[in-house]
A and B are shown apart, each in its own frame.
Chain A
Amino acid sequence: MIREPPPFFHRGPSPLARLTFFALLAIATMIADHRFGALEAVRLSLSVLVRPLQQAASAPGGAFVRLADYFASQEKLLRENEALRQKVLEYAAEAQRARLLQAEEEHLLAMSPPRSRFTTEGVLAEVLSHGRNPFVRKLVLDRGLTSGIKAGMPVIDGQGVVGQVTAVGTFTCEATLLTEKDQSVPVMLTRNGLRAIAVGSGKDGSIDVPFMPVSVDVQNGDLFVTSGIDGTYPAGLVVARVTAVEKNTAYVFARITARPAAGVDNYRFVRILTGARPAAVPAPQPRAEDPRAAKARPPGKARRQP
């Protein structure tokens, strides 16, 4: 029979009292972090403490990758070089066309509020690891506050949009993948300019395009690019290719599934677009039926709607 310890062995509050205290503290921490995002400073300082350990843990894997790189066969390198050279040629033509388009756009923009929809500014980042949160898949990248990274910046690779920076540390940042649940991107169909929102499905790396009517004009193989209307993602980045369109008249909406263009799992290097900035909120325009605006307008000149 175990009896209560004599008073001179007494060690403060009972385990149950401690449990209540710490459990409430943990729940308060979660609420503060989830609802108010108030603990970024705590997270940052803890991550500085924990970082050496993490680096030590990932060192063997990194060393192995570097070793593998070092021993890559010459034949493989030659092949890769050849492929890259071909790609450069392919892209050169596109780049020239893009330069022309950009010049035109600048010319047009000179007449309207200054805001570029296209951006190419960015920093190259290496994928350090795939994050260890089993519930949300993230990429840990080797750029952080010191490189001017901010939460919300888009992350792309050679093929298209990978995701978005969701948390920034001092030297690292985390990007949440496009395919994660509740990650949404405003997109546009290249074939007919249809605007939609692509939402990650959270499973098997696919993307849904919800709330499109059954009569919508979307076909298999159609390409979605960012529309740029949110101000977060610059326009024209490739997002996904439609893989399945299910139009069942029994439902209100068509079921559209797409596969991301970016090799979300395949790459060691990605690009964080630092040039993307929030779109300027357009000033409210006087509506046509506003009598004061109509009076102020010189007669005989039809006002162009932007």
Chain B
Amino acid sequence: MRPADLTPVARDVMKVPAGPGLILASFVAAYLFNSLPWAGWALLARPDLVLVVLLFWTIHQPGSVGQGLAFALGLAMDVGDSMLLGQHALAYVIATYGAQVLRVRVLAFPLLEQSLHVLGILLGASTVLVLLNLLLGADFPGPALGLSPFLAALAWGPLNWILYLPALRRMRREGAA
């Protein structure tokens, strides 16, 4: 058996958890980003930051963020984007489940490989959304839609950096004291 402090999960457990304020603020900021007046092909390629932030907290803080929040955020996205209620909810819940299953594995990798895992989850979520809408009789809106998961996966690295900043600052302060 390996010493506990070397496994990524143990490292994660030992970390000081992020406060609810930071989690809420990150979701609000991501929702604001998603609600910008996107139009045309930019709308199709819009990276879904709400989902990326959701995956981030699911992976890094599974005790506070899970499928219940994913469902609620999905409903909020459906209302905001005036889609059939429950579409985003389903996609987000499935993506969150994927993140919960993969989180131990994802945490063992550096950021680049992490974002590849996240890309897989994001592709799955957007496939669910597209299939649902095709089932409902919509036309495929355009190939730019395929760009969205890739752009969102690109946001994984910077997002890690931004959401870790408060924790880093706190650690530095405590280290200095």
Contact = CB atoms under 8 A, between A and B. Distances in A.
Query: Does B bind A?
Result: yes
B35 A54 contact: yes
A43 B137 contact: no
Contacts of A50: 31, 76, 79-80
Interface stretch (A92-100, A135-143, A144-152, A236-244): A135-143
Contact of B82 (A23, A30, A49, A138): A138
A135 B93 contact: no
A191 interface: no
A174 B86 CA distance: 19
Contact of B137 (A28, A167, A182): A182
A181 B35 contact: no
Contact of A18 (B34, B66, B84, B85): B66
B67 A43 contact: no
Given A16-B97, A18-B66, A56 B32 contact: yes
A107 to B, nearest CB: 44
A158 B122 CA distance: 43
B112 interface: no
A134 B85 contact: no
B67 to A, nearest CB: 5
Interface in B92-151: 93-94, 97, 100-101, 104, 132-133, 136-139, 141-142, 145
Contacts of B81: 131-133
A284 to B, nearest CB: 35
Majority SS at the chain A contact face:
helix
B70 A130 contact: no
Given A2-B104, A131-B82, A135-B133, A58 B63 contact: no
B158 interface: no
B80 A174 contact: no
A138 B39 CA distance: 11
B90 A23 contact: yes
Contacts of A11: 63
A61 B86 CA distance: 29
Contact of A134 (B63, B76, B132, B141): B141
A68 interface: no
Given A27-B86, A30-B90, A181-B139, A132 B80 contact: yes
A10 interface: no
B68 interface: yes
Contacts, number: 127
B14 to A, nearest CB: 14
B175 interface: no
A26 interface: yes
Contacts of B61: none
B171 interface: no
Interface string A150-168: 0000000000000000010
A132 B38 contact: yes
Given A22-B93, A33-B85, A46-B76, A132 B9 contact: no
Contacts of A33: 84-86
Given A50-B80, A135-B138, 14 more contacts: A1-B1, A15-B100, A18-B67, A29-B89, A30-B132, A33-B84, A47-B79, A50-B79, A131-B81, A134-B142, A134-B145, A135-B83, A136-B138, A203-B139
Interface of B: 1, 7, 9, 28, 31-39, 43-44, 46, 63, 66-68, 70-71, 74-76, 79-87, 89-90, 93-94, 97, 100-101, 104, 132-133, 136-139, 141-142, 145
Q: Which 7 residue pairs of A and B lie closest in terms of their CB atoms, listed nearest first?
A: A29-B86, A57-B35, A26-B90, A30-B86, A135-B138, A19-B97, A33-B85
